Homo-oligomer: A and B are copies of this chain.
Amino acid sequence: MTEASPEVEHHTTLALDIGGTWIRAATVTHDGQLLGARKQASPTTGSAAEILALCAQLADEARAASPVPPRGLGVSTTGPVNPQTGVLYDPPNTPAGFSGLPLGQYLRERLELAVVVDRDVNAAALAEQRFGAARGCTDFVYLTVSTGIGGAVIADGELLRGADGAAGELGHVVVAPGGPTCGCGRRGCLEAVAAGPAIGRAADRHARAHPGSGLAQLRDSLGGTPLRGHQVGAAALDGDPDAREILAAAGAAVVSSIVDIVNVFNPQRVVLGGSVAMAQPCWIEKANAAVRQSALQPASETARVVPTELGDNGGLLGAALLLDRPTEADHAARHRRR
């Protein structure tokens, strides 16, 4: 099956999206349809062997839905990965078993398919460029605000990779010096201020400091367990003023970071995705206003901030597109040779 030709017009690609919360698989058609989609919770305490076996099983199940032999397997995965070897690095926010996971080699041997592995944000950016909110763009930034905050940059048509394929960590830029401690060890990173868990922790701090507040009552009603980002979002929708203020502060940090991004990358678009950002559609309008008013010319006039069009499917669709970019897999090799 590794001989399936990429020239076949109606090819399919097997796709795997490995996140901290879900592992998903599907057969992706040439025009971006998902067939035989599967998902299962990521094993947060599993060993490397268990995680690898689960990935192979889901991919195998999704392969059964393909009308033709898939041309290969694209894998999008949480956290930085060496795109040449398909081995994961050890980032914050990644379950323990994921560190050093030899994804590429294992899946290649187990499934007997060509395999390309890349970061989920890179895959999602490629998907937005082909099928979504960045169609036709050569210069754009994809920013996801979810359990973590990550980014991918397409510059002059190419993914910005950096020396080790680890570029794009837009969530690990300090936006609040001396602020909350981040999973990466620094204080006040955008991720420590505006990702879902950071919003939950801010609400918790507020609840503990103000025992009579709505957030404190919410926390008590949940048995005193730490609040989570989506619960703060729900409280804000119900009109809780403290929840609204906490979300507004997170939004202001994201908006200011988007202005920074426009100054640094001069993109045509900033595509905003991730569960936290998707739940706060007003951030898009605020970011556009801030870019117009505060970014440098001419970047301020060029950039448009837009919501993801593909949402949760970006990682899977983009994983399939990794097979369109044969140079991605050997980027690191080319890089070292020069």
Contacts and interface: CB of A to CB of B under 8 A. Distances in A.
Nearest to A268: B163
A49 interface: no
Nearest to A138: B338
Given A89-B298, A175-B177, A256-B174, A263 B164 contact: no
A47 interface: no
B335 A166 contact: no
A299 B164 contact: yes
Give the interface size class of chain A: 35 or more
Interface in A177-203: 177, 184-186
Interface string A134-168: 00001100000000000100011110111111111
B155 A263 contact: no
Nearest to A334: B156
A1 interface: no
B294 A186 contact: yes
Contacts of A267: 162-163
Contacts of A264: 151, 167-170, 173, 264
Contact of A166 (B157, B163, B296): B296
A288 B266 CA distance: 28
B173 A260 contact: yes
A321 interface: no
Given A90-B297, A91-B297, A162 B259 contact: no
A5 interface: no
Given A172-B260, A177-B176, A260-B172, A163 B296 contact: no
5 contacts: A80-B298, A138-B163, A156-B335, A162-B299, A169-B266
